Amino acid sequence: MRGVSFISLAVLLLLATLQEVRSHGDQPLAKIDIRRSTLALHASAYVNASPAILGLKGQTTEWVTLEFSSPNPSVDDWIGVFSPSNFSASTCPEENPRVYTPLLCTAPIKYQYANYSSPKYKDTGKGNLKLQLINQRSDFSFALFSGGLSNPKLVAVSNQIAFANPNAPVYPRLAQGKEWNEMTVTWTSGYGINDAEPFVEWGRKGGDHVHSPAGTLTFDRNSMCGAPARTVGWRDPGFIHTSFLKELWPNAVYTYKVGHLLVNGTYIWGEKHQFRASPYPGQNSLQRVVIFGDMGKDEADGSNEYNNFQRGSLNTTRELIRDLKNIDIILHIGDICYANGYLSQWDQFTAQVEPIASTVPYMIASGNHERDWPGTGSFYGNMDSGGECGVLAETMFYVPAENRAKFWVTSLLLETKDLEQRPRTATLKQKEECKRQWYSTDYGMFRFCIADTEHDWREGTEQYKFIEHCLASVDRQKQPWLIFLAHRVLGYSSGTSYAVEGSFEEPMGRESLQSLWQKYKVDIAVYGHVHNYERTCPIYQNICTNKEKHYYKGTLNGTIHVVAGGGGASLSPFTTVQTTWSFYRDFDYGFIKLTAFDHSNLLFEYKKSRDGKVYDSFRISRDYKDILACTVDSCPSMTLAS
């Protein structure tokens, strides 16, 4: 009985949705085949989901149990998770080769085969499944399909379930501000500026707390550049808030929680977290940095998603959480979550990294899977961003890029109170400028210069000027550890994709930059994009400048190039070609950790994600005079500060 009434409700909802879609015409792909969608619905088929209300104790993640039955089971039946619950079950043609099956006009958040926990399903027609859901600002339904992924036919739809407060503020993420003593907190909620005032309550641990206001951003379907982000992958992003916590005391521990003050005077709170403020630039204290690229996200319940190839991601996340007390800052250098236009996966990613990003600054760089889209000003005209063209990455994570301010003002549907003073529409040129995500950030004795490989970096470009300024303006006596970061391999990689080019680099990668790295004595350059680990000798113009492998005393005479793209996305093979400069290669998931003990001693470690153990390492031990020493093409020493 229950099952039947749910189905008729589902059919009604479905029809209502279809009509709405037609009347508004906001889903251009929705060529609805009602007959096909509804005929497969079977009176004795059902899906029951429980519990009906999630997060009663304020949790943002919960497990649900499904029980389902079909009178005509087959081996490729599957269950799709939908949110909002009132989805369209019609199939839509692909518009972008990166759109994978199932091609429903509303993409499921994730899906699982009906036999996953019930191997006898294809004989008995009965099954059950446990799924983990996160709070994503809307309710959920679960639908049983036959016909496999490529020709889905709706058999039954479940009851709807929801989090107690779907709008709750969730997944806070920290990032360094533009000043060394500023931390930014960014989070997601279902509260727009007309519903509530967003803020952060924060202060020294055990001391007085204050409220700091937050800005609010959102965007609509028209901000997306193409399919699937604009079509089947679109999902309302809710509201993204950022607050700036200023004038922090170096290394002091702060506690904070995000909140919203509703118009009726009620406060809605996020969870309490704490972080340690960044050290003063040049400060001598223990400083530990983790760097990796290409991590992505994966489902703890084993279910499948679009672009389902980041199986190493949960191991990396687990090991980072395990070692979190010994990590001060994280740099995720591009290919953040591989949502590739399926917007709900940004929520999945921010939920996955919440324990990390809510505790230490989580700094991102732009990768092809965030930014690239034809005709939008990206250096490459491919479709790797799935139509996101950088908007999701720029909105979901804060970076202290100079162009960010312009971006905030003009590129999005900006929701601030002094809107009158700000231009409402941006020119195309402004929009493109705002998507340039290069920036520099200091952490104590470290200076990081973070390039954006999805925009031109060659001599004569604005980015080249930025890179030179970033490298030249650091005072190496105070900040001896100079690190260059980028997504694509501008330096050296033996990955097959780069080896076939014969130059072992992104085309035109190092030609203009290597003289800068040499002149300004960059110690280490780290890249992602190639999904493995590799370390070179200190090198300049293809020649090792130092033959030592594990302990560098005095000058390096070149830069050590590292690929750390094994964050979690499917691994990339190496060429069998041997080079003189490649010191260590690992075809596995992992990340690197830099530990600065003081101004003279740095430890580099490569750890595997499977066990968190160190598999490659080296030390640098040197004095300021070693940095000043002349080497090939770097005489005399050229820092603006000196």
Ligand X SMILES: *[C@@H]1O[C@H](CO)[C@@H](O)[C@H](O)[C@H]1NC(C)=O
Do 349 and 109 touch, CB atoms closer than 8 A?
A: no
Beta bridge partners of 616: 606
Interface with ligand X in residues 1-30 (CB under 6 A)? 13, 16-17, 20
Is residue 341 a contact point for ligand X (CB under 6 A)? no
Query: Nearest distance from residue 149's CB to ligand X, in Å?
Result: 9
- Rounded Cα distance, 432 and 407, in Å: 9
Name the segment binding Fe ion (CB under 5 A); options: 14-22, 28-36, 309-317, 335-343. Answer: 335-343
Residue 173: partners with Cβ closer than 8 Å, 6 or more residues away: 185, 186, 187, 350, 353, 354, 357, 358, 362, 397, 398
Rounded Cα distance between 484 and 524, Å, is: 6
> Among 222, 264, 421, 578, which residue interacts with ligand X (rule: CB under 6 A)?
264
Residue 21 or residue 412: which is nearer to ligand X going by CB?
A: 21
Query: Edge to edge, what strands does the sheet with 126-134 contain?
Result: 46-50, 61-69, 126-134
Helices (H), 330-378: 344-352, 354-357, 368-371
Contacts of residue 474, defined as CB under 8 A and 6 or more positions apart, other chains included, come to: 442, 447, 482, 639, 641
Pick the binder of Fe ion from 95, 201, 335, 605 (CB under 5 A). 335
Asked if 631 touches ligand X (CB under 6 A), the answer is: yes
Q: Which is nearer to ligand X, 406 or 610 (CB)?
A: 610
DSSP class of residue 194? T
Q: Is the distance from CB of 241 to CB of 199 less than 8 angstroms?
A: no
Minimum Å gap between C-beta 267 and ligand X is: 10
- Asked if the peptide bond before residue 279 counts as cis, ω within 30 degrees of 0, the response is no
x/- mask, ligand X, residues 121-140, rule CB under 6 A, reads -x---------------x--
| Alpha helices (runs of H) in 25-126, residue ranges in sequence order | 34-39, 121-124
The listed partner (ligand X, Fe ion, none) that binds 641, CB under 5 to 8 Å by sort, is none
The CB density around residue 587, as the number of other CB atoms within 10 Å, is 14
Stretch that binds ligand X, among 113-121, 125-133, 174-182, 425-433 (CB under 6 A): 113-121
The CB-of-421 to ligand X minimum distance in angstroms stands at: 31
* Beta pairing class for 446-450 and 481-486: parallel
Q: What angle do CA 36, 38, 42 make, to 5 degrees?
A: 120
Environment class of 210 (CB within 10 Å of its CB; exposed 0-12, middle 13-18, buried 19+):
exposed
Would you say 281 or 565 has its CB closer to Fe ion? Answer: 565
The stretch near ligand X (CB under 6 A) out of 62-70, 260-268, 360-368, 441-449 is 260-268
By CB under 5 A, the residues from 193 to 252 that bind Fe ion are none
Give the amino acid at 330: I
What distance in Å separates the CA atoms of residue 455 and residue 462, rounded to the nearest whole number? 10
Q: Which does 368 bind (CB under 5 to 8 A by kind): ligand X, Fe ion, none?
A: Fe ion
Look up residue 126 and give its amino acid: K
What is the pattern of x (binds ligand X, CB under 6 A) and - over residues 544-583? --x--------x-x--------------------------
Binding mask 577-616 for ligand X (x = CB under 6 A): ------------x--------------------x------
Give the integer Cα–Cα distance in Å for 203 and 210: 6
Instruction: Decide if residue 543 touches ligand X (CB under 6 A).
Output: no
Q: Which residues in the 516-545 window bind Fe ion by CB under 5 A? A: 529
Q: Is 368 in the site for Fe ion (CB under 5 A)?
A: yes
- CB 461 to ligand X: min, Å: 30
Cα Rg of the chain, angstroms = 25
Considering the rule CB under 6 A, would residue 310 count as an interface residue with ligand X?
no
Stretch that binds ligand X, among 202-210, 242-250, 262-270, 404-412 (CB under 6 A): 262-270
DSSP 105-133: SS--SEEEETTSS-TTHHHH-EEEEEEEE
CA distance 279 to 277: 7
Which two three-digit tokens encode residue 80?
């799709």
Tell me the sheet residues that pair with 273.
256
Judged by beta carbon, residue 189 or residue 385, the one nearer Fe ion is 385
DSSP 184: E
Residue range at the interface with ligand X (CB under 6 A); choices 34-42, 309-317, 420-428, 520-528:
309-317
Q: Which residues in 68-87 contact ligand X (CB under 6 A)?
A: 75-76, 84, 86
127 lines the binding site for Fe ion (CB under 5 A)? no
The region of 42-50, 112-120, 395-403, 441-449 touching ligand X under the rule CB under 6 A is: 112-120
Q: Which does 631 bind (CB under 5 to 8 A by kind): Fe ion, ligand X, none?
A: ligand X
Q: Of these, 115, 243, 378, 582, which contacts ligand X (CB under 6 A)?
A: 115
DSSP tag of 73: -
Element (H, E) at 602: strand 601-608
In the three-class reduction of DSSP (H, G, I as helix; E, B as strand; rest coil), residue 77 is classed as coil
Among Fe ion, ligand X, none, residue 16 binds (CB under 5-8 Å by kind)? ligand X
List the single partner that 335 binds among Fe ion, ligand X, none, CB under 5 to 8 Å by kind.
Answer: Fe ion
Residue 113 interacts with, from ligand X, Fe ion, none (CB under 5-8 Å by kind): ligand X
Select from 39, 210, 262, 641 the one that contacts ligand X (CB under 6 A): 262
C-beta of 533 vs 552, nearer to Fe ion? 533
Q: Where are the beta strands (DSSP E) in 344-476?
A: 362-365, 413-415, 439-443, 446-450
Residues at the site binding ligand X, with contacts judged by CB under 6 A: 13, 16-17, 20, 75-76, 84, 86, 113, 115, 119, 122, 138, 262, 264, 266, 311-312, 315, 546, 555, 557, 589, 610, 631-632
Residues at the site binding Fe ion, with contacts judged by CB under 5 A: 335, 367-368, 529
